[in-house]
Structure 1
Amino acid sequence: MRSELESARALIGEVASSFAELPAEGGGSEVDGPLGWAGYGDALADAAERTGERESVVCGVAEIGGVTAVVIAFEFGFLGGSLGTRTGHRIEQAFTLARELGVPVVSLVATGGSRMQEGTPALTQLQRIARQLALTREAGLPHLSVLRDPTTGGGWATLGAGADVVLGLRGAQVGFAGSRVRPPGYTVTQQFAVGLVDQLVPADDLRVRLERWLRLLANPLTGPAEVPAALGEPDLPATGWEAVQRARKTTRPRAEVYLGAYFDWHEPISGDRCGGIDAGVLCGFGSRDGQTIAYAAQCGTATQPAGFRTAARLVRLADRLGIPVLTLVDTPGAANDVQAEKAGIGAAIADMFTAVAAARVPVTTLLIGEGGSGGALAFAAPDRTWVTPDSYLAVISPELAAQILKRDPAQTQATADQLKLRPQDLVELGIARGITRP
């Protein structure tokens, strides 16, 4: 038996403090649908009597955590939450109203896909929905989706996977092919594991999570992010090799510590939307003194292709929503093994370089540890970078530099000095604006 929270109206009642439904207007009037499918009109009437709804979506304006949003909630009891021509019309109405009001869209998705009884006309509603997604992005408005059980077919391939932030209810079946097409169904946990879902959410935590996200997306900081204070060594290194050794200390504060000290609270996004996750890169949005800043932070490991792509996704989303970005640089370099090459490490680094370079919102960077070559520089703002006393940035590690120059390994420390990689060197060279202190 399905939980009452899987009813569209019950779920809206759980997450919203108020709700005003949009009037149901137009969208198709044929008794048996565009194909004249015998008995379809009776099936629609039965679905309406069973659920109390006239279509498979309920749309309207809601207050969630004090933020006004347009909500699109699927009623799975109405022909499996399938997408027909009237469904597409209602979803179009909802997105149009969101743009008129200048408010976010929240999609509570539970659908088996396109409606068989309406054939290809039902399928073309995916193009109609995709157009609404594109127009809403152009308007700079966020779209959050919640994947319920099940979310399959075109509903997953548009409103679900096409949202800016994707939350998945634990236990949901989520995939392009439903269980009747390719049993057993793919789960939301599996989609999360390959970078296609941002967060897994227990059903009883959904309201709080939506409130937090809408508060974050509704309150962007005006202007650049403040540079975080250094949390490690207060004194500057005397030599280049000392700078390298300090940055490599396992006891040095890492990105998680910096994010915890900087933000009052924050919510992560996860995955590159291409099938990959890099646990060594943390991305998301955080609240600081009631205002929102996006963040992309390296955690001291070699950054994988998925890490660069996830960070680039974060920067582009923040830029579109007008939210300034903070990046924390800390990596010995980009991953350079065979697997990384096959996964497109070069293209992924280029993607991040381009995202930062194209950003219209201010990007602020703090180098908090190792700064290894292009893998580190891709995360750095060219004109707004600061450094901590226990950090360095170099064209390559001193060990590899000595090797490339065919030097004796004993010359590694001298090579570190020649590379001018200390924090104070970076300021003198004009690469960093300044050195932050504890």
Structure 2
Amino acid sequence: MGQRFYRLELKATENAYVSVTAVPKADALVSYADGVEVSVQDSDGNNCSPLDAEEARFGSSESPRPITATAARRVGPGEKSCTGAGTYYVLVERTRSSGTIRSATAREDWDLELHVASEPALRAGGGTTPPRAWDSASPVPPSGERTPREGGTSFNDARGLEKGVWGADIKPGETFFYRVPVDWGQQLSVSTDLGSSSGSSSGSSSGGGVGTGATGATGAGSGRDRGYVSSALVTSLHNPVRAQVEDSDTAYDGKQKSSSLKPLPPVAYENRFALTDEVTAMRFAGWYYVSVHLSPDVAEKFGDAPLDLTLRVDVEGSPRPGPAYAGTPRPEDDFGVSERDAEAAQRGDTAAAGTGDGGGDGGRDDKLMAVIAVGGIGTGVVLLGILGVWMLIARWRAGAAARF
């Protein structure tokens, strides 16, 4: 009940990262403590690193949206557990509210997206030095004309973005996914603007400013108290293995709002040796994912018409050479940026479309593979092999053995 096991066959010299994204239905009932947890374990049931058993919760927004947890098996001089080659297990657990509060959440079925990536160790002599100092001043968001670009619904169909000002109409309850290629040595910054609920039309912003917004509930713009939603807009940033880098919650009172993610360091291999989570997460070059969720509570206060959403994306710095890996990352296009990536970002391509997916060899199988996991370790445990199919979707629907 609420647990699924998967199997990994790992070499002794590779870091393995497993991400699990829980995708509840748009009308699902979720509470603060509901979420998903993932860990990588050895054959004796020991976590490879307790710090790498991560959970994700819906939190204060209590709004149904995709949430992601990521776990890892890491190798290197400082790692003392899970160091050998062999069979490892991925444990996925669903966390639920305690007691009888919102007990109905336990009966909701969630879809899951699983992603596995392998990063080789460095060649002999590779260092473990801390990251260099970096400019932590808040960047100035880009300005200029806003380019319309609708977002995807998950990591798998996230729309590509490059440096610039982008926008779309977002409805209460919707989540948009975007992806931005960030190379070694480059620094990413993201800010979001949400338009006012007053006005006569939506999607009419120009000059990069916040749009006029959509007409909201009766009385919007009349000067009366139009309500307040404490966690109306949730913006999250995830790195190429889908581990969370940073997120922000923005309150909304019907007037235009702007928020920015905290300043982030340039992408560098040595960031993994830093002391703060935001810095350690900026450890890979590749596609970084931005998700933006508008709470359905906004509809209750201001009407269900869409609001103007503007994203200001900046990528600063010149690309630098990557680390001296002792092997090839798998999938190869998860840990780097190519010319095809830059073209895909400009066009707004998605990885699921099979275009602009990182400069692979063109013959890689990008199909989504449906899998079902069993409830315990045994011969029926599904192998999440690092074999060439990297994106797995597990749909655990209602049923005696399939409900998650």
Give the TM-score of the pair, scaled to structure 1. Answer: 0.22
Going by fraction, where is helix more abundant, 1 or 2?
A: 1
Higher relative contact order (CA 8 A, sep 6+): 2
Going by fraction, where is strand more abundant, 1 or 2?
A: 2
